[in-house]
Amino acid sequence: MYIKKLELQNFQKHNSLILDFNDKVNIIYGKTDSGKSCIVRALKWVFFGEPKGDIVRKENTKKTSVKVLLDNDTEIERIKSKTANAYIIRKDKEEKRYDSIGKTIPEDVRKILQINTIDIEGDSVILNIADQISLPFLLDKSATTRMKFFNKLTGNDMVDKVLKSFNSDILRLGREEKSEEQRQKDLKIKQEELTKKKKEVIGFYANSKEKFDKLVVIYNKYDKLNNLSVRLTEIIKQLKSLNASKKEMITDVKVDNLKEKIKKLERLQNLLFTLKSVKIEIASIIEKVKQINIPQISLTKMQDIAEKIDNYRNYLLKLKEITKSRKTLKSKIQNLTKDTKELINKYNKTLKEAGICPTCNQSTEEI
């Protein structure tokens, strides 16, 4: 793409100026202060929006216009007046206008002109047009600035950004790893505490269960002895009744019946003797039961212990997940380290092939 024609109206020194160009080298010459620099400023004004403000308008005129006709017959016109600040695109007898453009050039105009500034750390620099007293291609800039331009033009700034991103990721992953390690230590301490509490709970439960089982056995034995005591009381009452009616039985009952009752009485006396022995044993067992210390089991405490056991299991599951996450983080760090080394080697290889260091302009063989 090249400019076929440039037309200025009321632009600084020029009332009306039309220039035709070809696709080769074009030279503009003239006396000092004849308006040559105005032509360059007119191109910068259309292509890059500089200079700003009303400095472009010729004094005592109402409207300033610069038209650029490209080799594809597309015409770009910029207009500046007290009430207007616009671009106009004309192509194939069609016209499209952009009013109130402010400080930015419309995107459609940028696409047609195909020329943009280069942004270096917030500064927009024009490389296509040099000022009248400026040195050739950035020689008036510092070595650091030239290096930044070189990196921007060759794409090496992307390598710097990638390396910075890798370093940032490595630092972030390192912090995350340390955080995860600290969490694992905290969880391990909690695990040890819960393990200790679990052993205490299991021991308390086993001891309580043993005492409870013994208590059940003693209670069952006591219940049986208590039933025997009730039966003994009834038999004693029957014996007293028999002793009271013994004399009447001898006079009124026949001798055979008397012998049978005597035998029955002897059996009852033997049973009475046995029941007395049982009663003594019951009294001894009751005394032993009174001496047994029955533990007071708190239902709330048992529920709290059960919740702690559940928490212990959850902590174990979290510990397994964290261990797995830590392995994944280590794998990512190893991959990032490997990629960083490959990029550094590639950068060194590119620097060696270039032969000149973009930072100090020395030969790479001398460094």
SS3 readout for the chain: CCEEEEEEEEECCEEEEEEECCCCCCCCCCCCCCCHHHHHHHHHHHHHCCCCHHHHECCCCCEEEEEEEECCCCEEEEEEECCCEEEEEEECCEEEEECCCCCCCCHHHHHHHCCCCEEECCEEECCCCCCCCCCHHHCCCCHHHHHHHHHHHHCHHHHHHHHHHHHHHHHHHHHHHHHHHHHHHHHHHHHHHHHHHHHHHHHHHHHHHHHHHHHHHHHHHHHHHHHHHHHHHHHHHHHHHHHHCHHHHHHHCCHHHHHHHHHHHHHHHHHHHHHHHHHHHHHHHHHHHHHCCCCCCCHHHHHHHHHHHHHHHHHHHHHHHHHHHHHHHHHHHHHHHHHHHHHHHHHHHHHHHHCECCCCCCECCCC
| pLDDT at residue 177, as a whole number | 85
- The pTM of the full predicted model, rounded to 2 decimals, is 0.42
| pLDDT at residue 56, as a whole number | 85
Closest CA to 103 of 121, 124, 127: 124
**Which residues in the chain are classed under CATH 1.10.287?**
161-354
**Mean pLDDT to the nearest integer, 336-349:** 72
Q: Tell me if 356 sits within 8 A of 362, measured CB to CB.
A: yes
**Mean pLDDT to the nearest integer, 252-263:** 62
Count of Cβ atoms closer than 10 Å to residue 327 Cβ: 9
The region of weakest confidence among 120-124, 246-250, 349-353 is 246-250
pLDDT bracket for residue 5 (50, 70, 90)? very high
pLDDT tens column, 106-124: 888 889 888 777 666 556 6
| pLDDT at residue 259, as a whole number | 66
The region of weakest confidence among 12-21, 44-53, 116-125, 331-340 is 116-125
pLDDT tens column, 40-90: 899 989 988 888 878 888 888 889 999 999 999 999 999 998 888 999 999
| pLDDT at residue 103, as a whole number | 75
Residue 306 has pLDDT above 60, yes or no: yes
| pLDDT at residue 272, as a whole number | 72
| pLDDT at residue 258, as a whole number | 62
Pick the CATH number of 3-118 from 3.40.50.300, 1.10.1040.10, 3.30.450.40, 3.30.499.10: 3.40.50.300
The three state secondary structure string of 217-261 is: HHHHHHHHHHHHHHHHHHHHHHHHHHHHCHHHHHHHCCHHHHHHH
| pLDDT at residue 290, as a whole number | 67
| pLDDT at residue 357, as a whole number | 61
Q: Tell me if 228 sits within 8 A of 282, measured CB to CB.
A: yes
Residue 247 has pLDDT above 60, yes or no: no
**Which residues in the chain are classed under CATH 3.40.50.300?**
3-118
Residue 255 has pLDDT above 60, yes or no: no
The residue with tokens 């002897």 is: 266
> Does domain 161-354 fall into CATH 3.30.70?
no
In this prediction, what percent of the chain has a pLDDT beyond 90?
A: 13
pLDDT tens column, 167-220: 888 888 888 888 888 988 888 898 888 888 888 888 888 888 888 888 888 888
Strand partners, 88: 77, 97
| pLDDT at residue 329, as a whole number | 72
Bond into 51 cis (ω within 30): yes
**Terminal-residue alpha carbon distance, the chain:** 42
| pLDDT at residue 253, as a whole number | 47
Provide the phi-psi class of 76: left if phi over 0, else alpha when psi is between -120 and 50, else beta: beta
The residue ranking higher by pLDDT, 28 or 143, is: 28
Closest CA to 66 of 44, 83, 92: 44
Provide the phi-psi class of 279: left if phi over 0, else alpha when psi is between -120 and 50, else beta: alpha
